[in-house]
Amino acid sequence: MLEMHNISKIFRADLIETHALRDFSLTVNAGEFVAVTGPSGSGKTTFLNVAGLLESFDTGKYLLDGADVSDLSDDERSRLRNEKIGFIFQGFNLIPDLNIYDNVDVPLRYRRMSAKERNERITSALDLVGLSSRTKHMPSQLSGGQQQRAAIARALAGDPKFLLADEPTGNLDSLMARQVLDLLEQINEMGTTIIMVTHDIELARRAQRNVHVVDGQISDFKSYETRATESFAAASAR
């Protein structure tokens, strides 16, 4: 479970303060698939970075899987992040000079796993995402959809409890985007909690729950589909 209570995050530059999150409160239960939507600059990515322990916050309380992360040291945050959280980014973030097998292997090496355990995890993850025949390929030899699946395999190999996805289909065409979402739904059905930031209404409507963020705050808990339908109906009535 992920619990945020009255989280605030302020970015400061000279005399300018930007409130990225304002008294942000959210609970995501184990096994949920939650889509986070909202306009550009609303605080979605900041929320995801705080959730993933990539950024600190100024005020509030954050419990991750029951652990209060508010006052953890950098090393403690890194350890918790490596053990419990997997990341999927819009830009894939694969290492171009390493083949797909070695890309998936990198985060596992930081956990000091044996070569046997790493190989089992890598093989299983690549098989799940349908890339078992591409292990020796370089990222440049794969399509965009295949690169994103490789990135998902890298995240899954660590057996995370939480998978955080920031616009995971933003660089993909519609067919590849649907394939990636099919895979994420499959992963969620296997028990992994997924939080996905997206601008795509078709992708958001496939999540179990939608959270809409505006100006660093949750504006409501209506589904993205419901809000879109209401907006369309209002426009048609004019």
- pLDDT above 50 for 232: no
C-alpha separations of 73 from 3, 15, 21, 83, 235 in Å = 19, 28, 22, 15, 51
**DSSP secondary structure, 125-157, as one string:** HHHHTT-TT-TT--GGGS-HHHHHHHHHHHHHT
* DSSP code at position 67: E
Per-residue pLDDT band for 224 (boundaries 50, 70, 90) equals: very low
Decide: 33 and 198 in contact? Cβ < 8 Å. no
Per-residue pLDDT band for 227 (boundaries 50, 70, 90) equals: low
Domains detected in the chain: 2-237 (3.40.50.300)
Mean pLDDT, to the nearest integer, of 138-164?
95
Helices (H) and strands (E) in the chain, counts: 8, 10
- pLDDT above 60 for 73: yes
- pLDDT above 80 for 222: no
Mean pLDDT, to the nearest integer, of 145-162?
94
- Give the percent of the chain with pLDDT over 90: 72
- pLDDT above 80 for 236: no
- pLDDT above 80 for 104: yes
In one letter, which amino acid is 129?
A: V
Strand order in the sheet with 162-166: 85-89, 162-166, 193-197, 33-37, 209-214, 217-220
Decide: 213 and 38 in contact? Cβ < 8 Å. yes
Reduced to 3 states (helix: H, G, I; strand: E, B; else coil), residue 168 is: coil
Mean pLDDT, to the nearest integer, of 90-108?
94
Q: Where are the alpha helices (DSSP H) in 73-223?
A: 74-84, 100-109, 115-128, 144-156, 174-189, 201-204
Between residues 194 and 90, the one the model is more confident about = 194
Distance CA 230, CA 80 (A): 41
- Give the percent of the chain with pLDDT over 70: 92
Average pLDDT of the residues of the chain: 90
pLDDT at 237: 57
pLDDT at 147: 95
- Listed residue (160, 205, 200, 168) closest to 184, CA to CA: 168
